Protein backbone atom coordinates (compact mmCIF):
# COMPACT_ATOMS: atom_id res chain seq x y z
CA UNK A 1 0.00 0.00 0.00
CA UNK A 2 1.33 3.40 -0.95
CA UNK A 3 2.22 5.74 1.93
CA UNK A 4 -0.49 8.31 2.62
CA UNK A 5 0.17 11.68 4.24
CA UNK A 6 -1.87 12.61 7.30
CA UNK A 7 -4.73 15.00 6.48
CA UNK A 8 -6.03 16.28 9.84
CA UNK A 9 -9.78 16.00 10.08
CA UNK A 10 -10.05 13.59 7.14
CA UNK A 11 -12.87 11.14 7.70
CA UNK A 12 -12.64 7.51 6.72
CA UNK A 13 -15.55 6.64 4.46
CA UNK A 14 -17.54 3.44 4.29
CA UNK A 15 -17.49 2.02 0.77
CA UNK A 16 -19.10 -1.37 1.13
CA UNK A 17 -19.55 -4.56 3.11
CA UNK A 18 -20.74 -8.02 2.38
CA UNK A 19 -21.59 -11.19 4.24
CA UNK A 20 -20.32 -14.33 2.54
CA UNK A 21 -21.84 -17.65 3.68
CA UNK A 22 -19.32 -20.41 4.38
CA UNK A 23 -19.71 -24.13 5.05
CA UNK A 24 -20.61 -25.35 8.51
CA UNK A 25 -22.90 -22.49 9.57
CA UNK A 26 -20.01 -20.00 9.29
CA UNK A 27 -19.72 -16.72 7.45
CA UNK A 28 -17.08 -14.27 6.31
CA UNK A 29 -17.56 -10.52 6.48
CA UNK A 30 -15.69 -8.27 4.06
CA UNK A 31 -15.49 -4.51 4.62
CA UNK A 32 -13.99 -1.82 2.38
CA UNK A 33 -13.14 1.67 3.62
CA UNK A 34 -11.87 4.60 1.55
CA UNK A 35 -10.08 7.86 2.24
CA UNK A 36 -11.08 11.00 0.32
CA UNK A 37 -7.35 11.70 -0.27
CA UNK A 38 -7.02 8.31 -1.92
CA UNK A 39 -6.65 4.72 -0.85
CA UNK A 40 -8.91 1.75 -0.29
CA UNK A 41 -8.58 -0.60 2.66
CA UNK A 42 -10.20 -4.04 2.74
CA UNK A 43 -10.37 -6.53 5.60
CA UNK A 44 -12.26 -9.71 6.37
CA UNK A 45 -13.28 -11.57 9.51
CA UNK A 46 -14.81 -15.01 9.89
CA UNK A 47 -17.36 -16.12 12.45
CA UNK A 48 -20.43 -18.18 13.08
CA UNK A 49 -23.69 -17.34 11.37
CA UNK A 50 -26.34 -15.57 13.39
CA UNK A 51 -26.92 -11.91 14.10
CA UNK A 52 -24.74 -11.48 17.20
CA UNK A 53 -21.78 -13.34 15.64
CA UNK A 54 -22.10 -11.47 12.35
CA UNK A 55 -22.21 -8.09 14.12
CA UNK A 56 -18.98 -8.99 15.95
CA UNK A 57 -17.30 -10.19 12.73
CA UNK A 58 -18.33 -6.96 10.99
CA UNK A 59 -16.88 -4.93 13.86
CA UNK A 60 -13.59 -6.87 13.71
CA UNK A 61 -13.32 -6.53 9.92
CA UNK A 62 -13.99 -2.79 10.07
CA UNK A 63 -11.36 -2.27 12.76
CA UNK A 64 -8.87 -4.37 10.77
CA UNK A 65 -9.43 -2.09 7.76
CA UNK A 66 -9.02 0.95 10.04
CA UNK A 67 -5.72 -0.46 11.30
CA UNK A 68 -4.53 -0.46 7.69
CA UNK A 69 -5.57 3.19 7.41
CA UNK A 70 -3.67 4.28 10.53
CA UNK A 71 -0.61 2.31 9.44
CA UNK A 72 -0.63 3.92 5.99
CA UNK A 73 -0.96 7.36 7.61
CA UNK A 74 1.77 6.62 10.19
CA UNK A 75 -0.54 7.29 13.11
CA UNK A 76 0.27 5.77 16.48
CA UNK A 77 -3.28 4.62 17.19
CA UNK A 78 -4.56 1.24 18.36
CA UNK A 79 -8.14 -0.04 18.47
CA UNK A 80 -9.79 -2.91 20.29
CA UNK A 81 -13.39 -4.00 19.85
CA UNK A 82 -14.89 -4.31 23.32
CA UNK A 83 -18.51 -5.01 22.53
CA UNK A 84 -21.05 -4.85 19.75
CA UNK A 85 -24.75 -5.28 20.30
CA UNK A 86 -28.10 -4.82 18.63
CA UNK A 87 -30.62 -2.78 20.61
CA UNK A 88 -33.99 -1.12 20.29
CA UNK A 89 -34.76 2.46 21.31
CA UNK A 90 -37.93 4.42 20.63
CA UNK A 91 -39.26 1.44 18.69
CA UNK A 92 -36.33 1.48 16.24
CA UNK A 93 -33.57 -1.15 15.99
CA UNK A 94 -29.94 -0.07 16.14
CA UNK A 95 -26.42 -1.34 16.61
CA UNK A 96 -23.99 0.00 19.19
CA UNK A 97 -20.24 -0.59 19.39
CA UNK A 98 -17.81 0.01 22.23
CA UNK A 99 -14.17 0.41 21.23
CA UNK A 100 -10.99 1.02 23.21
CA UNK A 101 -8.62 3.39 21.45
CA UNK A 102 -5.12 4.48 22.40
CA UNK A 103 -3.14 7.43 21.08
CA UNK A 104 -0.04 8.97 22.69
CA UNK A 105 -0.42 6.58 25.65
CA UNK A 106 -3.89 7.93 26.36
CA UNK A 107 -6.74 5.44 26.47
CA UNK A 108 -10.19 6.42 25.28
CA UNK A 109 -13.50 4.63 25.34
CA UNK A 110 -15.36 5.22 22.08
CA UNK A 111 -19.04 4.56 21.39
CA UNK A 112 -20.69 4.43 18.00
CA UNK A 113 -24.27 3.94 16.90
CA UNK A 114 -26.13 3.26 13.68
CA UNK A 115 -29.68 2.33 12.72
CA UNK A 116 -29.90 -1.42 12.19
CA UNK A 117 -31.42 -2.13 8.82
CA UNK A 118 -31.69 -5.34 6.80
CA UNK A 119 -27.91 -5.15 6.14
CA UNK A 120 -26.54 -5.71 9.64
CA UNK A 121 -22.93 -5.87 8.39
CA UNK A 122 -23.19 -2.41 6.84
CA UNK A 123 -24.91 -1.02 9.93
CA UNK A 124 -22.10 -2.30 12.16
CA UNK A 125 -19.36 -0.87 9.94
CA UNK A 126 -21.10 2.52 10.01
CA UNK A 127 -21.37 2.33 13.82
CA UNK A 128 -17.62 1.65 14.08
CA UNK A 129 -16.88 4.65 11.86
CA UNK A 130 -19.29 6.74 13.93
CA UNK A 131 -17.09 6.02 16.95
CA UNK A 132 -13.66 6.21 15.36
CA UNK A 133 -13.86 9.08 12.86
CA UNK A 134 -14.16 11.73 15.57
CA UNK A 135 -11.17 10.19 17.36
CA UNK A 136 -9.04 9.93 14.19
CA UNK A 137 -9.80 13.53 13.26
CA UNK A 138 -7.71 14.72 16.22
CA UNK A 139 -5.11 11.92 16.27
Where along the chain do its domains lie?
13-138
Dist. CA 61–CA 64, nearest whole Å? 5
Determine the pLDDT at residue 134: 85
Q: By the 8 A CB rule, do 82 and 60 touch?
A: no
Structure confidence at residue 139 (pLDDT): 62
Q: Residue 128's CB: how many other CB atoms inside 10 A?
A: 30
Neighbours of 82 (CB within 10 A): 13
- Helix (H), strand (E), coil (C) string for the chain: CCCCCCCCCCCCEEEEEEEEEECCCEEEEEEEEECCCCCEEEEEEEEECCHHHHHHHHHHHHHHHHHHHHHHCCCCEEEEEEEEEEEEECCEEEEEEEEEEEECCEEEEEEEEEECCCCHHHHHHHHHHHHHHHHHHHC
At 1 the pLDDT is: 47
Taking only the tens of pLDDT, the chain with its 139 residues reads 445 554 566 789 999 999 999 999 999 999 999 998 889 999 999 999 999 999 999 999 999 999 999 999 888 999 999 999 999 999 999 999 999 999 988 999 999 999 999 999 999 999 999 999 988 876 6
Cα 122 → chain centroid = 9
What integer pLDDT is reported at residue 37 of this predicted model? 87
What pTM, to 2 d.p., does this model score?
0.91
Domain 13-138 has CATH 3.30.160.270: yes
As a whole number of angstroms, the distance between CA 79 and CA 48 comes to: 23
Rounded (10°) CA dihedral 83, 114, 125, 13:
-140
Amino acid sequence: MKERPHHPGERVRFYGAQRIPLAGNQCRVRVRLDLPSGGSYVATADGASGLDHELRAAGRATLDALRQVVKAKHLQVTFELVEVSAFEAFGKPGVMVSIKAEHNRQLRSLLGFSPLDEDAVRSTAVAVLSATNRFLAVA
